Structure 1
Amino acid sequence: MAFRHRRGFIKESEEYAKEFRQELGLTDCSPLTALELADHLSIPVWELTKHPNIQADVVEHFTNGGQNDFSAVTLNNGTYKEIIHNDSHHPYRQNSNIAHELAHIILGHPPKPPMLKDGCRNFDKRMEREAHDLGFTLLVPKPAALVAVEDFLSLDEACQYFHVSEQLLEFRIRKSDAKRWALNRAQKRSGW
């Protein structure tokens, strides 16, 4: 069975993206990086290789052979939160990794230990999907997806403008229905 968000989640995600851009004096379709948003929300973000409390052998593992084993994590201590992300990833991937962690914080997801007692990963599908989709929406809300379709000659140019991967941008264009929206606008302008 396909995953379905709780009622109103998609609208709520778009509203978060719009609200944060307004607070920062940006337009609805302006690019917004996760680091800019974290700074606005006063959430410290550490690169894995620069965090003072992470052992060198751990850094070595996650930046070389185990690079795909760790993207980012939010550390919680009461109301204090900080994000550590794997800075050996491509900058666009780092952007989405941090946005994903910010989404967990914005949505008020409760912190959980990363592992269960049996050694399996502690993974809540609903919370992870919400963080995934809100994180992507924060980076490319619906108006930005429309701009990507209408105003750029190539997907690559739009990716550079929004600081996101092609996969993320294609996902947001598809989920926001930006291509159909752009087609309808073009037909209306042409009097069709």
Structure 2
Amino acid sequence: MPLAKGVDTMAPIGFIQNELDLKFLVLYIMARTAGPITFLQLLELALCDAGVDYFSLTKAVEHMVETGQLSKEGDRYSITEKGVRNSQICESSLPYSVRMHCDENLVKVNEALRREAQVRSQVSENQDGTCTLKLDFNDETTPLLHLELLVPERKQADTMAQCFQDEPTDFYRQIIQLLTQRNGSQNS
């Protein structure tokens, strides 16, 4: 007997079968991130299952913000206390293989988030056309370096910020070396 036109004969793929499953997955991920993440980071983490797609994830995340399980500040999402409670209740509903795959992917994202929290650069434009470059370097609990520089133009400030972001430990080490060197012509 022929099927009606437009009826999908394929069974859904992946473990994530519906919106509720997807919300469980989002809560599981968000409860384990080291800090707020962008939607693209969340999408990358959620794509651990073939049942996830961009549009359904967008809809689920928007609904979770509306219901107070996630919060959004700027372009970053974080889990709320309500979301954490719900995650603890429903995490066992996710298949073990999905949870393990998420955990593997979270290692890389959390490492990047921790590094981002430890190394910060910010360029702000001044009224006179110059820029102020702020550089911050922290270990896990202590600020190691805070430096503000006046830079003549935006392009130069952006280049300097990127150099700092690429090699913060070398930058820090060189500053310490410069500050601790003794000039050979001075008496100790």
TM over 0.5: no
Shorter-chain TM-score: what band? under 0.3
| TM-score (norm: length of structure 1) | 0.25
| TM-score (norm: length of structure 2) | 0.26
Higher-RCO chain (CA-CA 8 Å, sequence separation at least 6): 1
Question: Which is greater in Rg?
Answer: 2
Which structure shows the bigger proportion of residues in helix conformation? 1
